[in-house]
Amino acid sequence: MAIATPLVARLGLRHPVLLAPMAAVSGGRLAAAVSRAGGLGFIGGGYGTRAWLERELALAGQARVGVGFIAWALARRPSRLDLALERRPAAILLSFGNAVPFAARVRQARIPLLVQVQTLAQAKAALDAGADILVAQGTEAGGHGGARATLPLVPAVVDIAGAVPVVAAGGIADGRGLAAALMLGAAGALCGTAFYSAAESLAPDGAKQAALATGGDETVRSRLFDHARGLDWPPDWTLRARRNRFFDRWAGHETAIDDDARAGYAAAAQ
């Protein structure tokens, strides 16, 4: 049974469900699968090269998909946005950084602009920039996120958004979570971890199996894994991931992670 919400109407969906543009996970095949199922899939253009993004856009085929970017990383390689806009995606999603430098270009292309926020100040800035849809992401989210919880953040963003639809994100993995998001005033949900282990996901098979075997109590939010990967994420956003032996070895000593440790981490992540 279809659920009619402003998100469904704005993006032409059957179901108010969006795939989070997870970097190195949400490729063209996964985005296309979510879109064909009635939601909207986003390709995660976060760390990918231009060639990677071109390939994943091609793998989406004729499916109607969006493209998501990490704003602070996009600022270093703005041509990625030009490539995405040339392909006329169903939407552009920006998160983790200042969306203002890119908002006008997206809007001029008449492509819906979604901006993911983790605080009310970020939500107000996104509204001022002309966001068509806000994504309110709570700290329960897997991957990168902020400090505020989903339950109080979503209605607070809804209260200031006016006619702009708000999508809930962070710890939403099934129909119960979607129903709760709708009751909070959201117009839909953006899900990442729920799709991480899908057959179409780009995540390594071992990582998929580890995710399926891991409960929420076995996760940690930290900057450690970014240090391990050599990624200079801004301090406003930490990463929720599965706790493992690498974390136990280096927790509290993130800045001491050396090249040998990084090489071992990279090899184990394949």
Sequence ranges of the domains in the chain: 6-196, 215-268
> Does the predicted TM-score (pTM) go above 0.85?
yes
Q: Is residue 193 within a helix (H) or strand (E), and if so which, with residue range?
A: helix 193-196
Q: Which amino acid is at 202?
A: L
In the DSSP assignment, the letter for residue 145 is: E
pLDDT of residue 1: 66
**Which percentage of the chain shows pLDDT scores above 90?**
93
CA 170 to chain centre: 10
The answer to whether 211 and 231 have CB atoms below 8 angstroms apart is no
Can you tell me the mean pLDDT for 258-268?
A: 90
CA-CA-CA-CA torsion sign (62, 42, 198, 36): negative
**Which percentage of the chain shows pLDDT scores above 70?**
100
Averaged pLDDT score across all residues of the chain: 96
Q: How many CA atoms lie within 13 A of 227 on its CB side?
A: 17
pLDDT of residue 138: 98
Whole-Å CA distances, 31 to 19, 76, 107, 155, 168: 7, 25, 22, 28, 19
Question: What are the beta bridge partners of residue 221?
Answer: 240
Can you tell me the mean pLDDT for 259-266?
A: 91
Q: Is the pLDDT of residue 149 over 90?
A: yes
- Between CA 270 and CA 265 the distance in angstroms is 9
* Residue range 152-200, pLDDT digits in tens: 999 999 999 999 999 999 999 999 999 999 999 999 999 999 999 999 9
CB atoms within 10 A of CB 63: 17
CB atoms within 10 A of CB 242: 16
Can you tell me the mean pLDDT for 141-159?
A: 97
* Residue range 45-86, pLDDT digits in tens: 988 889 999 999 999 999 999 999 999 999 999 999 999 999
Which of the four pLDDT bands, split at 50, 70 and 90, describes residue 255?
confident
Pick the CATH number of 6-196 from 3.20.20.70, 3.90.79.10, 3.30.70.20, 1.10.357.10: 3.20.20.70
